[in-house]
Amino acid sequence: MVLEENLKKLKERVARACDRAGRNPDEIRLVAVTKEFPPEIINQAIELGIKEIGENRVQEARAKYGLIKKGVIWHMVGHLQRNKVKKALEIFDIIQSVDSERLAREISKRAEKEVPILVEVNTSKEKTKFGVEPETVDTLIEVVADLPNLKLLGLMTIGPGWAISDPEASRPCFRLLSDLRKKIEDRFQIVLPILSMGMSSDFEVAIEEGTTMIRVGTAIFGPRG
């Protein structure tokens, strides 16, 4: 089975990257990004041991939700519009893409229980990317800390677009996010256990820079489209 072989190769790559970084592979959580892949393929991955899946769009996640095996953790990893928050909270266990005060307030208002979240930071400063600017992340953290029903677990970022062909291009972005976590933990006297950074093209660099969670799609499922 191609899926089984892909997962085996992925685990081997994770192990080698961890070995280079002097880390334990058990420290790295894998979120399988299932955007554009059908439920039957996703369920095969779950049968092979995938425990966490990520979707980019609320509408697509809703269409799949009832067809996916139970017991997996659902991550919202794409940009979340405020008018989709209510529907998102019916599906997702964790929102990785909180990138503004207005979105944080909307999640807090709509939530009926504590919602685990990550703050998304635009470390590459690309205009086409979402995420709070690194220089203003503290302001958003302060807001989140005062809002009910939000549980801040960490930070998330995406490497630059050209990292697809040059994984090393992501290193400064990942290093910046790692440094930001330390500064935030020191300033606010909190613990942020999750650094979500690294995708199919650059997760090995992310592991070397301290990621605790990688978001991988094509390296598991193959090309989209």
- Residue 51: predicted pLDDT: 98
pLDDT more than 70, % of the chain? 100
Query: Whats the size of the chain, residue-wise?
Result: 225
Both structure tokens of 91: 């599906």
In CATH, what is the architecture of 2-220?
Alpha-Beta Barrel (3.20)
- Residue 190: predicted pLDDT: 96
Concatenated DSSP letters of 10-76: HHHHHHHHHHHHT--GGG-EEEEE-TT--HHHHHHHHHTT--EEEES-HHHHHHHHTTSPTTPEEEE
Give tens-digit pLDDT for 181-194.
999 999 999 999 99
Q: Which residues of 130-153 are buried (b: 16+ CB within 10 A; e: fewer)?
A: bbbebeebeebbebbeebeebebb
Both structure tokens of 170: 């992501």
- Residue 161: predicted pLDDT: 84
- Residue 225: predicted pLDDT: 67
Give tens-digit pLDDT for 73-119.
999 999 999 999 999 999 999 999 999 999 999 999 999 999 999 99
Per-residue pLDDT band at 165 (split at 50, 70, 90):
confident
| 199 CB-near residues (< 8 Å, 6+ apart) | 33, 158, 159, 214, 215, 216, 217
* In the chain, domain spans: 2-220
- Residue 164: predicted pLDDT: 84
Give tens-digit pLDDT for 19-62.
999 999 999 999 999 999 999 999 999 999 999 999 999 999 99
- Three-class secondary structure of residue 132 per DSSP: strand
Q: Look up the pTM and report it.
A: 0.96
What single DSSP character describes residue 78?
S
69, 17, 63, 18: which is closest to 48 by C-alpha?
69
Torsion of CA 204, 10, 21, 208, to 10 degrees: 20
Give tens-digit pLDDT for 207-222.
999 999 999 999 999 9
72, 84, 29: which is closest to 47 by C-alpha?
72
